[in-house]
Structure 1
Amino acid sequence: MRLIVLLLLLLFIAGGVILGALNADLVGYDLAFVRIQVPKGAALLAVLALGWILGGLTAWLGVTTRHRRERRRAVKTRDAKAPKAP
Protein backbone atom coordinates (compact mmCIF):
# COMPACT_ATOMS: atom_id res chain seq x y z
CA MET A 1 0.00 0.00 0.00
CA ARG A 2 2.80 2.41 0.87
CA LEU A 3 4.47 1.67 -2.44
CA ILE A 4 1.31 2.64 -4.33
CA VAL A 5 0.98 5.88 -2.35
CA LEU A 6 4.65 6.69 -2.96
CA LEU A 7 4.30 6.01 -6.68
CA LEU A 8 1.20 8.21 -6.88
CA LEU A 9 3.00 10.98 -5.03
CA LEU A 10 5.95 10.77 -7.40
CA LEU A 11 3.57 10.76 -10.36
CA PHE A 12 1.88 13.95 -9.16
CA ILE A 13 5.23 15.61 -8.42
CA ALA A 14 6.42 14.76 -11.93
CA GLY A 15 3.18 16.12 -13.36
CA GLY A 16 3.65 19.36 -11.42
CA VAL A 17 7.21 19.74 -12.67
CA ILE A 18 6.10 19.12 -16.25
CA LEU A 19 3.18 21.54 -15.86
CA GLY A 20 5.51 24.20 -14.52
CA ALA A 21 8.07 23.67 -17.27
CA LEU A 22 5.52 23.82 -20.06
CA ASN A 23 3.90 26.98 -18.66
CA ALA A 24 6.96 29.03 -17.78
CA ASP A 25 5.87 32.34 -19.34
CA LEU A 26 4.85 35.12 -16.97
CA VAL A 27 1.25 36.17 -16.47
CA GLY A 28 0.31 39.43 -14.79
CA TYR A 29 -2.44 39.60 -12.19
CA ASP A 30 -3.99 42.83 -10.99
CA LEU A 31 -5.49 42.30 -7.54
CA ALA A 32 -6.72 45.90 -7.18
CA PHE A 33 -4.16 46.75 -4.49
CA VAL A 34 -1.11 45.01 -5.95
CA ARG A 35 0.07 43.80 -9.33
CA ILE A 36 2.07 40.59 -9.51
CA GLN A 37 3.63 38.60 -12.31
CA VAL A 38 4.09 34.89 -11.80
CA PRO A 39 4.69 31.96 -14.13
CA LYS A 40 1.50 30.31 -15.38
CA GLY A 41 2.54 26.94 -14.00
CA ALA A 42 3.11 28.34 -10.51
CA ALA A 43 -0.23 30.13 -10.59
CA LEU A 44 -2.02 26.94 -11.67
CA LEU A 45 -0.35 24.88 -8.96
CA ALA A 46 -1.05 27.51 -6.30
CA VAL A 47 -4.73 27.68 -7.21
CA LEU A 48 -4.93 23.88 -7.28
CA ALA A 49 -3.36 23.68 -3.80
CA LEU A 50 -5.67 26.42 -2.50
CA GLY A 51 -8.73 24.60 -3.85
CA TRP A 52 -7.54 21.33 -2.33
CA ILE A 53 -7.03 22.97 1.07
CA LEU A 54 -10.39 24.79 1.00
CA GLY A 55 -12.20 21.64 -0.13
CA GLY A 56 -10.59 19.61 2.66
CA LEU A 57 -11.41 22.28 5.21
CA THR A 58 -15.04 22.36 4.07
CA ALA A 59 -15.33 18.57 4.28
CA TRP A 60 -13.68 18.51 7.71
CA LEU A 61 -15.96 21.21 9.08
CA GLY A 62 -19.03 19.44 7.73
CA VAL A 63 -18.08 16.14 9.34
CA THR A 64 -17.04 17.77 12.61
CA THR A 65 -20.28 19.73 12.85
CA ARG A 66 -22.36 16.64 12.14
CA HIS A 67 -20.47 14.60 14.78
CA ARG A 68 -20.90 17.36 17.35
CA ARG A 69 -24.64 17.54 16.63
CA GLU A 70 -25.01 13.74 16.89
CA ARG A 71 -23.04 13.69 20.16
CA ARG A 72 -25.30 16.38 21.68
CA ARG A 73 -28.39 14.47 20.59
CA ALA A 74 -27.01 11.23 22.11
CA VAL A 75 -26.27 12.99 25.43
CA LYS A 76 -29.78 14.46 25.53
CA THR A 77 -31.31 11.07 24.80
CA ARG A 78 -29.14 9.39 27.43
CA ASP A 79 -30.02 12.05 30.01
CA ALA A 80 -33.73 11.75 29.23
CA LYS A 81 -33.65 7.95 29.68
CA ALA A 82 -31.61 8.06 32.91
CA PRO A 83 -33.65 7.54 36.09
CA LYS A 84 -34.14 10.68 38.11
CA ALA A 85 -32.75 10.72 41.65
CA PRO A 86 -35.39 11.41 44.34
Structure 2
Amino acid sequence: MRVVWIVAALLFAAVGAVFGALNGESVGLDFYAFQLQMPKAAALLGALLAGWLAGGLILWLAVVMPLRRRLTRQRRELVRRDDVATVRTAE
Protein backbone atom coordinates (compact mmCIF):
# COMPACT_ATOMS: atom_id res chain seq x y z
CA MET A 1 0.00 0.00 0.00
CA ARG A 2 2.90 2.32 0.75
CA VAL A 3 4.13 1.97 -2.85
CA VAL A 4 0.75 3.18 -4.14
CA TRP A 5 0.98 6.32 -2.00
CA ILE A 6 4.55 6.99 -3.15
CA VAL A 7 3.58 6.59 -6.81
CA ALA A 8 0.54 8.85 -6.30
CA ALA A 9 2.69 11.52 -4.61
CA LEU A 10 5.26 11.40 -7.41
CA LEU A 11 2.51 11.61 -10.01
CA PHE A 12 0.97 14.68 -8.37
CA ALA A 13 4.41 16.28 -8.01
CA ALA A 14 5.08 15.73 -11.71
CA VAL A 15 1.69 17.14 -12.69
CA GLY A 16 2.33 20.15 -10.42
CA ALA A 17 5.75 20.74 -11.99
CA VAL A 18 4.28 20.60 -15.50
CA PHE A 19 1.44 22.92 -14.41
CA GLY A 20 3.94 25.39 -13.03
CA ALA A 21 6.10 25.25 -16.15
CA LEU A 22 3.16 25.81 -18.48
CA ASN A 23 1.80 28.74 -16.42
CA GLY A 24 4.99 30.65 -15.76
CA GLU A 25 3.91 34.08 -16.99
CA SER A 26 3.54 36.73 -14.32
CA VAL A 27 0.20 38.16 -13.20
CA GLY A 28 -0.51 41.16 -11.03
CA LEU A 29 -2.77 40.83 -8.01
CA ASP A 30 -4.21 43.92 -6.32
CA PHE A 31 -5.24 43.44 -2.67
CA TYR A 32 -6.28 47.09 -2.19
CA ALA A 33 -3.57 47.75 0.42
CA PHE A 34 -0.75 46.23 -1.66
CA GLN A 35 0.00 44.65 -5.01
CA LEU A 36 1.82 41.44 -5.86
CA GLN A 37 3.47 40.20 -9.03
CA MET A 38 3.74 36.41 -9.12
CA PRO A 39 3.63 33.54 -11.59
CA LYS A 40 0.15 32.44 -12.57
CA ALA A 41 0.70 28.90 -11.26
CA ALA A 42 1.76 30.21 -7.85
CA ALA A 43 -1.31 32.45 -7.68
CA LEU A 44 -3.62 29.56 -8.57
CA LEU A 45 -1.99 27.17 -6.09
CA GLY A 46 -2.04 29.87 -3.41
CA ALA A 47 -5.75 30.44 -3.99
CA LEU A 48 -6.32 26.67 -3.79
CA LEU A 49 -4.42 26.48 -0.50
CA ALA A 50 -6.29 29.50 0.93
CA GLY A 51 -9.64 27.93 0.00
CA TRP A 52 -8.63 24.60 1.52
CA LEU A 53 -7.59 26.29 4.78
CA ALA A 54 -10.73 28.45 4.91
CA GLY A 55 -12.94 25.40 4.29
CA GLY A 56 -11.16 23.45 7.00
CA LEU A 57 -11.55 26.32 9.46
CA ILE A 58 -15.24 26.68 8.69
CA LEU A 59 -15.74 22.93 9.08
CA TRP A 60 -13.88 22.98 12.38
CA LEU A 61 -15.94 25.85 13.75
CA ALA A 62 -19.32 24.68 12.44
CA VAL A 63 -19.10 20.92 13.02
CA VAL A 64 -16.18 19.82 15.18
CA MET A 65 -16.44 22.40 17.95
CA PRO A 66 -20.20 21.86 18.58
CA LEU A 67 -19.64 18.09 18.64
CA ARG A 68 -16.81 18.49 21.15
CA ARG A 69 -18.99 20.66 23.39
CA ARG A 70 -21.79 18.09 23.17
CA LEU A 71 -19.39 15.26 24.03
CA THR A 72 -18.08 17.20 27.03
CA ARG A 73 -21.63 17.82 28.28
CA GLN A 74 -22.54 14.15 27.85
CA ARG A 75 -19.41 13.02 29.69
CA ARG A 76 -20.26 15.32 32.59
CA GLU A 77 -23.82 13.98 32.61
CA LEU A 78 -22.54 10.40 32.63
CA VAL A 79 -20.23 11.12 35.56
CA ARG A 80 -23.10 12.82 37.42
CA ARG A 81 -25.42 9.85 36.81
CA ASP A 82 -22.70 7.44 37.91
CA ASP A 83 -22.20 9.44 41.12
CA VAL A 84 -25.96 9.41 41.80
CA ALA A 85 -26.12 5.65 41.19
CA THR A 86 -23.17 5.07 43.52
CA VAL A 87 -24.84 7.11 46.29
CA ARG A 88 -28.14 5.21 45.86
CA THR A 89 -26.49 1.79 46.05
CA ALA A 90 -24.57 2.83 49.16
CA GLU A 91 -27.81 3.67 51.00
TM-score greater than 0.5 by the shorter chain: yes
1:32 is paired with a residue of what secondary structure?
coil
CA offset at residue 7 of structure 1?
Answer: 1.3
- The whole-number CA distance in structure 2 between the counterparts of 1:12 and 1:56 is 21
Normalising by structure 2, what TM-score? 0.73
What is the number of residues matched between the two proteins?
Answer: 86
Larger Rg: 2
CA contact (8 A) 1:20 1:41 kept: yes
CA offset at residue 69 of structure 1?
Answer: 1.2
* 2:6 is aligned with 1:3: no
- The whole-number CA distance in structure 2 between the counterparts of 1:46 and 1:31 is 14
CA contact (8 A) 1:27 1:38 kept: yes
Q: What pairs with 1:1-86 in structure 2 (closer than 5 Å)?
A: 1-61=1-61, 62-80=63-81, 82-83=83-84, 84=87
Normalising by structure 1, what TM-score? 0.77
For residues 65 and 11 of structure 1, do their structure 2 counterparts lie closer, same or farther at Cα, with a shift above 3 Å needed?
Answer: farther
Question: Which ranges in structure 1 are unaligned for 5 or more consecutive residues?
Answer: none
2:32 is paired with a residue of what secondary structure?
coil
Question: Which ranges in structure 2 are unaligned for 5 or more consecutive residues?
Answer: none
For residues 25 and 53 of structure 1, do their structure 2 counterparts lie closer, same or farther at Cα, with a shift above 3 Å needed?
Answer: same
The residue type paired with residue 67 of structure 2 is: R
* Percent identity over paired residues: 38
- The whole-number CA distance in structure 2 between the counterparts of 1:53 and 1:14 is 23
Could you tell which deviates more after superposition, 4-13 or 48-57?
48-57
2:11 is paired with a residue of what secondary structure?
helix
